[in-house]
Each structure stands twice: as structure tokens, then as C-alpha cells.
Amino acid sequence: MPENDNFETGLFFLTGGDFDRAGEASSELRKVLLSKDISLDIIRRASIAAFEAEINVIVYATAGMLRFTLDDKCLHVVVEDMGPGIEDINLAMQEGYSTASEEVRAMGWGAGMGLPNMKKNADEFLLLSDVGIGTTVELVFYLKPKRIKTL
Amino acid sequence: MKLNDIVSALELKVITGGGAMEQEITGAYVSDLLSDVLGNSQKGQLWITLQTHINIVAVAVMKEIPGIVFIGGRLPDKQIINKAESEGIVLLASPLANFELTGRLYQLLNQSGELPQ
């Protein structure tokens, strides 16, 4: 076990179509972050990005999970699902592009802003997808300013 | 401007959260798209919407939005009210249409010097 105050991990199962519980996983994550010595700006960005990733599982997939690991240096959130996968990742990353159903749009989701919102809020954003198998989103948030060495 | 003063000036109906009326409101964000609110609203802004889907409460919590104003006489169902109560989100309603309510609130906040010039 690493010796630091921030160390924590968590795992939440997500069910496709369960809009009533949408946001519970990222809300729990937010509560964990609020209990730690982490800047509010990072907590806000992490909560928004995790929420968008969670919503995508509920909108598109059969099931999925959200896992996080927190240590002194960073928060690492992985959201993976058993879903349809993304045909064209470049297209999916365009703001305004969405394949959500009319029903989902009527709920206020499916505006084509979820993936761009994740990218905008995370310090590192990785999207892996296999059509017919599923999608994995990895989000990393640095808890301390990162020193960048220019070569 | 205090939420209390906004509620009385605009004759908003308080659905839940009457105990949290002393909060400072710095502006408002008007949208029915949840990801738009997640992406672009600012902390301390009221959220004006006709969206009455359950996920609005989670969005408000994540964005530290103190209150949601439903326009056009729309009212949320019991499930939303209960969730808002447990999360400490104020729910308000107005019979006015979006344009009119937003215009009045803008005028009110602008006159009180809340809005950036």
C-alpha cells in the first residue's frame, strides 16, 4: 500500500438504460475527491468528465464499469463498457456529432458534446473502441502542476 | 444578488429548497441540453430550462449550480423534487416563457451590477 493520504480506489457497475441512477458513480467519486486535499478546480473537471463517460455507458452500452485510482500525483479514471463501439472516432470527437436516439435527445442528452467535454476537462484523454465489442475511456487528472521540460 | 430577492422580484414559485434562499447568484445559464450545461455553465449561476428529466439534478450537483428554474409552467415530478431536496438544489418555476423570464432576470442582475460589463 503506497504511503500517502490520498490513496483510494473505487469500482462502480453501470447498467445501460438506467437513467434513474445515472450520475451516481461520478457523484460518489466526487464525494471521495471532496474528502481529500484536492483543488476544487480539479474536482470540478474530474466530476464533469467522469459524469459524461458514465452517461455514455448508460446511453449506448449494455453494461459497463467505472474504476478510479487516486494517489499523490494523479487521479486515474477508467470507464469501460460492453457496447456497440464507435465506428469513426474522429467523427465522434466532433462537437455536435451524435448517434443518440430521439428518446435520449428528449432527455437532454445526445448533443454530441460528451466526448469533447471529457477531452476538454481531462489532462490526459484516451479513447479505445472496438466495433461490436465495446469502448474504453481513460481520463487522467494531475493533482499537482506538471513540470514540462522543453527539449 | 441573493436568490431570495430574485425569487420575489420575478415572482418565482419555490418548489423545494426554501431554506437555501440566501445564496448569491452571479448570473444564469439557459439551456435544455445537459452536456451543454456540463460544459459551459459557471458555478453560482441559476439554470433556466424546460428540461424536467431526472438527470438535471445530477448535472446541477456536478456544476455547483444552486438552483434550477423551470419555465413555461413546467413542473418536475416527485422523483426529481426528492432528489433535489436530498442534494440541496433549489427548484423554482415560472409561468413565463424562456425569452421573457431570461430577459427579466438579465435586467435585474444587470441593474444590481452583478453582470460583467
Structural domains in chain A?
Answer: 8-142 (3.30.565.10)
Q: Which of A51, A106, A114 faces B58 most closely, judged by CB atoms? A: A51
Residue-wise pLDDT for B42-97, tens only, equals: 999 999 999 999 999 999 999 999 999 999 999 999 999 999 999 999 999 999 99
Looking at residue A40, its pLDDT comes to 94
β-sheet with A134-142: strand ranges across: A8-15, A63-70, A74-82, A134-142, A124-130
Cα distance between residue A6 and residue A141, in whole Å: 14
Q: Do A22 and B56 touch (CB under 8 A)?
A: no
Report yes or no: A12 at the B interface, CB cutoff 8 Å. no
**Which CATH number applies to B3-111?**
3.40.1390.20
> What is the residue extent of each domain of chain B?
3-111
Among residues 109-128 of chain A, which lie with CB inside 8 Å of chain B?
109, 111-114, 116-117, 120
Residue A4 in this model has a pLDDT that exceeds 80: no
Q: Do A109 and B62 touch (CB under 8 A)?
A: no
The pLDDT-based confidence of A6 (bands split at 50, 70, 90) is confident
Task: Give the DSSP H/E element, type plus range, for residue B88.
Answer: none
pLDDT above 90 covers a percentage of chain B that reads: 92
CA distances from B68 to A45, A74, B22, B81 (A): 21, 33, 15, 11
Give the phi and the psi of residue B16 in degrees, each rounded to 5: -155, 155
Looking at residue A148, its pLDDT comes to 62
Residue-wise pLDDT for B6-45, tens only, equals: 999 999 999 999 888 999 999 999 999 999 999 999 999 9
Q: Which of B59, B62, B79 faces A30 most closely, judged by CB atoms? A: B62
Q: Do A117 and B56 touch (CB under 8 A)?
A: no
Return the higher-pLDDT residue of A69 and A4: A69
Q: Do A44 and B54 touch (CB under 8 A)?
A: no
Record the pTM.
0.91
* ipTM above 0.85 for this complex: yes
Report yes or no: B83 at the A interface, CB cutoff 8 Å. no
Residue carrying the nine cell digits 418548489: B15
